[in-house]
Every structure is written in C-alpha cells, then in structure tokens.
Amino acid sequence: MPRQLFVFDPPERFVAGTVGQPGDRTFYLQASGAGRTVSVALEKSQVMVLAERLEELLEEVRRRGVGEVPDAAPRELEDTAPLDAPVEEEFRVGTMGLAWDGSIAKVVVEALAPPEREGQEDVEPLSDAEEGPDALRVVLTAEMARAFIQRAQRVVAAGRPPCPLCALPLDPDGHICPRQNGHRR
C-alpha cells in the first residue's frame, strides 16, 4: 500500500503542543496550510530532541555561512495559541529526519511513522519512496524554525515541576522520592 506523505511547503503554522494535564499529556506536532491540518503524536523527549537538533542545525548553518540565521524568531511568528481542534492523530512518530536545503535556504523536518509490519524495510527520512511508513514533511524558513524551537521549549517546560532532591517530576500530591528512601515528598 502506498504511503501517505503530508507535505507543507511552507506551512501556515507548524507547532509542538499538548493535549491533557501535566503528567498525563500527549504531545503533538501539528502542521497547517491550504485548508488542512495534520497532527502526529510523539513523545516529550522527541519534542526536546527535535528542538535541540534544530538549534544545532541553525548554528551550523550560521557557522558555515551558508544561510541567513536570525538569533531569535521575529515577534510576528511567536505562536502561543493552542493546537487547532479537533486534534486527530494521523500516526505516532517513530523516527525523524532533519536537513538544511541549501538550494532554497530552508530547513526540512520530517516525522515518519514506524514500519507497519515486522520485517518491513525502513525508509530513509527525507526520501520520496512510494512505499513505506506515512510521513509528515515540513519546509521552514530559519525564522519559522526559530519560532518552532522557542515554542517547543516552552511546551516541554510547562510540565510538572521537578523534585528538588531527585529531579523526578512531582505530582500535585507529591511522589515517592528515591533520595528519601522511598518516603513521600
């Protein structure tokens, strides 16, 4: 069965966001444009890594002098709105790819679903293979990438506060702290 490739070049909006309360949140990447919205679910750690790798990529582009990279996103690109509703998961992200396309001076982000069945060959991120897992591909300017990074960092930081002793997340009623020999903190 041919895969679905959701391409936004460029998106009107590309954000990381959550549904649910801290401690029970589901994380999403959401791209919108041309009257359609695609949401893919992923782990909090994947959002953190994507933001970190985007930051590293932009710094490398700046260091090599192969593109214009702003220090921060322009104020007009700051996005604090919630995810567009309804949030309907197209797939859960298995792997991600990230690249700088020097021919157009833009960042390409791709999120791929895991292979559908055991033994199915993996598809390289950023390929146009007709078979393989579904994928979301978004082409961003450096300014849009900076805006994504800033929002993703805010979304990740908005979770439960860390325990001052063990750094594990604190629930509203505390938690069993390993540094307190299993006593409730």
pLDDT digits over 68-104, tens only? 888 888 899 999 999 999 999 999 999 999 999 999 9
Taking a C-beta distance cutoff of 8 angstroms, is the pair 87, 41 a contact? no
Does the domain at 5-160 match CATH 3.40.1350? Answer given as no
For residue 162, the model assigns a pLDDT of 80
**Nearest-5° Cα angle at 136, 16 to 123:** 130
Taking a C-beta distance cutoff of 8 angstroms, is the pair 100, 142 a contact? no
pLDDT digits over 33-65, tens only? 999 999 999 999 999 999 999 999 999 999 998
Residue 135 CB neighbour total at 10 angstroms: 27
Domain ranges of the chain: 5-160
pLDDT band at 164 (very low <50, low <70, confident <90, very high): confident
CA separation for the pair 52, 36 (Å, rounded): 28
For residue 122, the model assigns a pLDDT of 67
In this model, does residue 126 exceed pLDDT 60? yes
In this model, does residue 119 exceed pLDDT 60? no
**Residue 117: strand, helix, or coil:** coil
Nearest by Cα to 111 from 36, 19, 8, 20: 8
